[in-house]
Amino acid sequence: MESIKWSNNLTAIRILAFTNCPLQDPTLPESVTEISDFAFWNCKRLKHVSIPGQIKNYFIGQYVSNNYKFPFNDNYLNYLFNTGTDLSFIFYECDSIESIYINSDTNREMFKHQKLLKKVELGDSVTNIIGTFKGCTHLETVVLSKNIKSMWSAFEGCTNLSEVVFNKGLLFIDDKTFSGCTNLKKVALPSTLTTIGRNALASCLQLKTLSFLGSEFQISGLDGVLLIDHTELDSLYLNLRYVPHNMFYYRSRAISEDEGCHIKKIAFSDSVKEIGYHAFRNCMTEHIYLGKNIQKIYDGAFRDNLHLKDLYLPEGIDTINNYTFSGYSITDIYLPSTLKHIRTYGIRSSVLENVYIKATIPPTTESYAIFAYRSQATLHVPAGCKEAYEAAKIWKDFNIIEEKTTDIHAVQNASPSTESETWYDLQGRKVATQGKASTS
């Protein structure tokens, strides 16, 4: 029996209903609302599954008292009950499924470890998926419902998944939802996202481009870290109003250039106002593009970034906090007129060459505020301010202090920019160009 003509009045498919049947392409009628575990057990020729109705999956435990003969021994059955497993056994041992269409929420690991599954399409009635496709190592394409609101560990370990298109409306991504998706290369999280789970993108070792299009969301979990393994991002785009603490730093990890998440380029939109402490610590960042509305950068936000060469701080920042730019590799620094205070190890570099500052009053400094070989670097100050800097703590240690006859801002405009680049999300929408970000 390779095919079935379904009655439009069919509402339930019970346990063991099609056990061992050579079905290939069962498209169930929308009238089906109940499917029991083992309904399609061991259908080895099953390749395409379509479930358009609103399904409730009944766990096998409801049938224990009915003396069914199950396809495994009593010891295994007892194990399943005693461990409170979340596994679904509707398609147990159906090892040949290649594509799936489903149009109802899934709250159990219905298609876990389907080794040949390549494509998944979720209908518009799907709003939540929980662990549904864990370990589907051949899964390449996922088309999400336009109404999906939350995902819970849905694609963990899908090592062949390279692209996921998120629609506006998604609110919640749980811990480890895409953990172990080692072939995932681009992710653009929608503006509607409010919460993303800790380690949601852990071990995504091929991830190169990551964009956060929303202005507000939180990371659940103690550390708030998203990537804990050796992931090397080419670019990160952030439109968040407040960048969370420890966003890309795993605090229990030893500081090493060979460990952790490396982010070559970070671009912040003008929506960003604050950057949390240790948010990008040890990320080996080469270029940082700060939005013009940054107001506060917390302690250690860019600490131990050993590849950062140039630092450009926009107008509005009044304090450089402890260890904020402590990375040893900075050669040129551009500081705004609004800067008033630099705390301990706020700037730390062993190869510092030039400091350009627009503040007419020397910012106050704590001990080791600018920890560098100041005797070898040149301090560029506004016209008429040289004497003030020569008399100020820390600043006076620069052997060479030069007054600029032109606005120092003109020098800052020569800094690296994204002028030659355009940023897109996965739906082809432009999100940033010429150094400015947008969500249009």
**How confident is the model at residue 169, as a pLDDT?**
87
**How confident is the model at residue 189, as a pLDDT?**
87
Backbone angles phi, psi at 374, to 5 degrees: -65, -25
Please give the domain boundaries of the chain with CATH numbers for all domains: 309-406 (3.80.10.10)
**How confident is the model at residue 388, as a pLDDT?**
97
User: HSE-up of 145 (CA within 13 Å, CB side)?
Assistant: 22
**How confident is the model at residue 439, as a pLDDT?**
30
pLDDT tens per residue across all 440 residues of the chain: 667 888 889 998 888 889 889 988 888 999 998 888 788 888 999 999 999 988 865 554 444 444 555 555 555 555 444 444 445 678 888 889 999 999 988 766 778 888 899 999 999 999 988 878 888 999 988 888 889 998 888 899 999 998 887 888 889 888 888 989 999 888 888 888 888 887 788 888 888 888 888 877 666 654 455 665 556 888 999 998 888 888 887 654 444 444 557 889 999 999 999 999 999 988 889 999 999 999 999 999 999 888 898 999 999 999 999 999 988 889 999 999 999 999 999 998 989 999 999 999 999 999 888 877 787 899 999 999 999 999 999 999 999 999 975 554 433 333 333 333 444 433 344 444 433 333 33
**How confident is the model at residue 282, as a pLDDT?**
85
User: HSE-up of 298 (CA within 13 Å, CB side)?
Assistant: 15
Residue in 143, 148, 195, 149 with CA at minimum distance from that of residue 164 = 143
**How confident is the model at residue 200, as a pLDDT?**
85
**How confident is the model at residue 25, as a pLDDT?**
84
Euclidean distance between CA atoms 275 and 418, whole angstroms: 20
Q: Give the global pTM.
A: 0.75
- Amino acid (one-letter) located at 186: K
**How confident is the model at residue 62, as a pLDDT?**
47
Question: Residues of 60-72 as b/e, b for ≥16 C-beta within 10 angstroms?
Answer: beebeeeeeebbe
**How confident is the model at residue 422, as a pLDDT?**
47
Phi-psi category of residue 376: left, alpha or beta, with phi > 0 → left and psi -120 to 50 → alpha: alpha
**How confident is the model at residue 425, as a pLDDT?**
38
**How confident is the model at residue 409, as a pLDDT?**
46
- What is the DSSP-derived secondary structure letter of residue 362? P
Euclidean distance between CA atoms 49 and 102, whole angstroms: 8
DSSP of 193-247, one letter per residue? --EE-TTTTTT-TT--EEEE--S--EE-SSS--S--S--EEEEEEE--SEEPTTT
- Amino acid (one-letter) located at 252: S
CA-based angle 351:353:359, to the nearest 5?
A: 125
